[in-house]
């Protein structure tokens, strides 16, 4: 089959979406499919290349339909609508890779799949008309997928009279489990202390404020607790301040105010991502620390809701 994935983030960009789409695209290519990815053109990347048998098409587009899309939007739409795909898989709402195609769904004869990655502005009045258009587009999809029952996707579908999405949790790359341990505890001078870790970029939607509060609460019962946030930062979007090197999201709060040690991906030789962070499950599993366990969260490699491994 000729398969197209659309996603605004793809390697070398580091994000959960990048990881999900790259894993799927590379593995489908290994099975003999012709796999293409349409993504954002970023500094240091080329507009087209083939990596791991995946055809990567990058477009200089930014924004979404609520606040406006800029760049090669027409070029992107023409590429998608004029190519005879067998299957198109669109990742994420509220971003140009999906928004630019919503009014062209009927012109796409391919099987169409939409994959939620959460709905961050469900109660924001500025997004209500957009969500109505998104719901109309989803009605024309052959399948709608959510990564978890815990995020807002099912609530969105219920609110707009859509069938509940099919839940397909993120998998785990088993090769990660076969690699030699990196001795991070020793390198970071954590030692044998109980260690609480979250792996997620500095975006308020990732719940770092909850993580920081949780770490403070747990440290009252376990004073020797160490807590670490592993994640990258985003350029500040407001007033386009990112062009001056100012970081967005919750980076500065996590670095300056929290007392929790933030670490960027570049400081790690190997890191493991989390797909979702369930704090109630984490609180229960934290009690395992007192019993001598050195991990927090579900031990199953295929678990879709877990905290990071320590």
Residue 61 lies in a domain: yes
Give the 3-state secondary structure of residue 79. Answer: helix
Q: Are residues 61 and 196 in the same domain?
A: no
By three-state DSSP, how is residue 110 classified?
Answer: coil
- By the 10 Å C-beta count (0-12 exposed, 13-18 middle, 19+ buried), 295 is classed as middle
The verdict on whether omega for the bond into residue 12 sits within 30 degrees of 0, i.e. cis, is: yes
* DSSP annotation of 1: -
Alpha helices in the chain (DSSP H): 16-30, 73-82, 96-99, 128-139, 153-159, 175-178, 184-187, 208-221, 251-252, 279-290
pLDDT confidence of residue 261: 61
Q: pLDDT below 70 — which residues of the chain? A: 205, 236-240, 243, 256-310
Residue 256 is predicted with a pLDDT of 65
* Final residue in a domain of this structure, among 112, 143, 167: 167
Are 208 and 272 members of one domain? yes
Residue 5: strand, helix, or coil: strand
Residues 9 and 122 in one domain: yes
- The number of folded domains in the chain is 2
Domain that includes residue 42, residue range = 2-167
| Domain-embedded: residue 298 | no
Whether residue 185 sits in one domain with residue 244: yes
The reply to whether 300 falls in a domain is: no
Tokens 């959460």, residue located? 118
- 163 assigned to some structural domain: yes
Are residues 108 and 251 part of one domain? no
**How far is C-alpha 4 from the geometric centre of its chain's CA atoms?**
19
Give the global pTM.
0.72
CA–CA distance, 205 with 220 (Å, rounded to integer): 26
Per-residue pLDDT, 301: 33
How far are the Cα atoms of 92, 148, 288 from residue 158, in angstroms, in the given order?
18, 15, 37
Residue 187 lies in a domain: yes
Chosen domain end from 167, 190, 219: 167
What does the pLDDT read at residue 297?
36
Looking at the structure, tell me whether residues 185 and 162 fall in a common domain.
no
In a domain, 19, yes or no: yes
Q: Are residues 130 and 62 in the same domain?
A: yes
Residues 70 and 140 in one domain: yes
Task: Give the model's pLDDT for residue 136.
Answer: 97
The 3-state DSSP class for residue 151 equals: coil
Q: Are residues 117 and 230 in the same domain?
A: no
Instruction: Judge whether 295 lies within some domain.
Output: no
CATH assignment of the domain containing 51 = 3.40.50.2000
145 and 204 share one domain:
no
């Amino acid at each position: 089959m000729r398969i197209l994935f659309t996603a605004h983030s793809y390697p070398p960009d580091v994000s959960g979406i990048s990881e999900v789409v790259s894993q799927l695209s590379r593995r489908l290519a290994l099975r003999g499919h012709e796999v293409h990815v349409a993504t954002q053109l970023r500094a240091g990347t080329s507009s087209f290349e083939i990596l791991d048998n995946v055809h990567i098409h990058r477009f200089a587009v930014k924004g979404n339909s609520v606040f406006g899309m800029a760049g090669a939007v027409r070029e992107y739409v023409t590429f998608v609508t004029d190519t005879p795909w067998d299957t198109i898989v669109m990742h994420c709402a509220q971003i140009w890779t999906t928004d630019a195609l919503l009014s062209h769904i009927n012109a796409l004869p391919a099987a169409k799949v939409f994959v939620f990655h959460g709905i961050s502005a469900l109660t924001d009045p500025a997004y209500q008309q957009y969500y109505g258009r998104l719901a109309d587009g989803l009605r024309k999809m052959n399948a709608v997928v959510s990564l978890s029952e815990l995020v807002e996707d099912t609530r969105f579908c219920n609110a707009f009279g859509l069938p509940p999405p099919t839940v397909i949790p993120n998998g785990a790359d088993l090769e990660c489990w076969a690699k030699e341990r990196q001795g991070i505890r020793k390198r970071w001078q954590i030692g044998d202390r109980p260690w609480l870790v979250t792996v997620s970029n500095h975006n308020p939607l990732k719940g770092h404020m909850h993580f920081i509060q949780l770490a403070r609460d747990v440290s009252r019962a376990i004073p020797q607790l160490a807590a670490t946030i592993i994640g990258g930062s985003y350029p500040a979007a407001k007033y386009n301040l990112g062009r001056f090197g100012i970081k967005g999201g919750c980076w500065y709060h996590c670095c300056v105010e929290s007392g929790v040690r933030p670490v960027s991906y570049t400081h790690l030789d190997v890191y493991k991502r989390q797909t979702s962070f369930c704090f109630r499950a984490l609180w229960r599993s934290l009690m395992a620390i007192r019993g001598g366990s050195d991990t927090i969260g579900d031990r199953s490699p295929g678990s879709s809701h877990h905290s990071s491994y320590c």
